[in-house]
Amino acid sequence: MSLKRACVIGWPVSHSRSPLIHRYWIKLHGIEGDYAREAVPPGDVEAFLTNIEARGFVGCNVTLPHKEAAFQSVRIADEATQKLGVVNTVFRRDGTTWGTSTDGEGFLANIASGYRGWSPANKRIAVLGAGGAARAIVATLIDQGAAEVVVFNRTLERAEILRRDFGTKVKPLPWDKAADALAETDALVNTTSLGMKGQPELDLDIARLPRSALVSDIIYVPLITNLLVRAKERGHPIVTGLGMLLHQAVRGFELWFGVRPKVTQELYDLVAADIEKGTAT
């Protein structure tokens, strides 16, 4: 059996925790494989992906700022990714280089792992932000039968683009309406960069949010954002961003190495410790 190698491409890429996650699974499953970091400058993405096999890789993850460029450079594997316009996972099949997005399923699987049976079906969900991360999450929530996805964004036009692309169950609202509009919300998801280490805090008042509402943040540095701290204090069920990062990695690993890995507490703790240390391993 020959050595199978995958990688993550980004610019910069040194902060990525994907090598830590995939190498953990490679070792756990006794796979003859490796997972590298590849710094690919903007403009070189297409050339890299076109020759991915010649470079010795069975596939890769794609991180910022290359997700759109990757979408343009590979054959898209499924309808959902086609609508999304971004790719975070690239793999080889039948002599072709394919791309897919696993962010939406990572988001859902993460919630389901903490709250078994939770589903967006018939729920009213508030999403903060309308950037790239929001796109995958809003698409998944609609696809899974959410009754309404209210998108609050500083730049309202970006929220309106989500409605155009994913349908009229998406309700764009201005950022300053968020606090008042939380009253009948079943789940709140932060997809903005507010609250991330080095960024301004997310100072949204959540006093009107029903206490049964699930609160989720996709930020994982810090591991527990200020929003999650405040939500926990009010008794809300909370879901961390690190869990989403781990769950989005599952399908890529399976596509490259042929084993569907599990997200365990041990893996969570390993990556959490690396994040708390401050520099990526």
- Residues of this chain that bind ligand ATR (CB under 6 A): 129-134, 153-155, 158, 175, 191-194, 200
The answer to whether the beta carbons of residues 202 and 167 sit under 8 Å apart is: no
CB of 96 to ligand ATR, least distance (A): 27
CB of 113 to ligand ATR, least distance (A): 22
Which residue's Cβ has the minimum distance to ligand ATR? 131
Closer by beta carbon to ligand ATR, 31 or else 126: 126
Neighbours of 227 (CB within 10 A): 25
Secondary structure element (H or E) that encloses residue 257, with its range: helix 241-257
Tell me which residue of 217, 223, 66 sits closest to 134, measured CA to CA: 217
DSSP 3-state of 89 = strand
Residue-wise DSSP of 126-173:
EEE--SHHHHHHHHHHHHTT-SEEEEEESSHHHHHHHHHHH-TTEEEE
CB of 244 to ligand ATR, least distance (A): 12
CB of 202 to ligand ATR, least distance (A): 8
Tell me which residue of 103, 58, 64 sits closest to 81, measured CA to CA: 103
Using CB atoms within 10 A of its CB, is residue 171 exposed (0-12), middle (13-18) or buried (19+)?
Answer: middle
Closer by beta carbon to ligand ATR, 72 or else 155: 155
Closer by beta carbon to ligand ATR, 49 or else 189: 189
Cα–Cα distance list, 102 to 74, 113, 181, 202 (Å):
15, 16, 30, 26
Closer by beta carbon to ligand ATR, 61 or else 97: 61
Cα radius of gyration rounded to whole Å, the chain: 19
Closer by beta carbon to ligand ATR, 89 or else 97: 89
Catalytic residue among 27, 67, 169, 277: 67
Strand-pair category, 89-93 with 59-62: antiparallel
Asked about 67 being catalytic, the answer comes back as yes
CB of 121 to ligand ATR, least distance (A): 25
Q: How far apart are CA 101 and CA 151, in angstroms?
A: 21
CB of 184 to ligand ATR, least distance (A): 22
Closer by beta carbon to ligand ATR, 145 or else 200: 200
DSSP 3-state of 68 = helix
Kindly list the catalytic residues.
67
